[in-house]
Amino acid sequence: MRSRQSRCRWPACGRSKNCAGIVSRRSESGIGFSGEKLFPGGTTLEIEFRIGSAHAEWFKVKGVVRHTQNGQMGVEFIEMSESVKLRIRKVVFHELAIQQLG
């Protein structure tokens, strides 16, 4: 079985250095992940993430931190176009289908 670990990054660790994280939950409306740095609720972040393989498309979205707990952040997407929502939805459903078959 292949490892299909999702990753994310966001510009928050200092000048021109991106933080990195591991995605634990994802949907068309938000993302949960652990990372190098946690931010308090209400913080707006610009996040880049991909779902699936290392060759998957990177999505770049704005989000608001809704909660932090046990080294994890939950971020709700904001200001996202319908076309990006649709692309994320397709990728999430595709990954779920692969998990069901695997």
Does 68 fall in a domain? yes
Please report the pLDDT score of residue 15 as a whole number.
41
On whether the pTM is more than 0.75, the answer is no
CATH number of residue 78's parent domain: 2.40.10.220
Outline where DSSP puts E strands in the chain. Answer: 7-10, 19-26, 30-35, 44-50, 59-69, 72-78
Specify the 3-state DSSP secondary structure of 80.
coil
Does 61 fall in a domain? yes
- Domain with 29 in it: 7-101
Tens of pLDDT, residue by residue over 53-100, are 667 788 888 899 999 998 899 999 998 888 888 888 888 788 778 778
Does 51 fall in a domain? yes
Does 41 fall in a domain? yes
Q: Give the Cα separation of 20 and 26 in Å (integer).
A: 16
Tens of pLDDT, residue by residue over 9-59, are 654 444 445 677 888 887 878 888 887 788 889 989 888 887 766 677 888
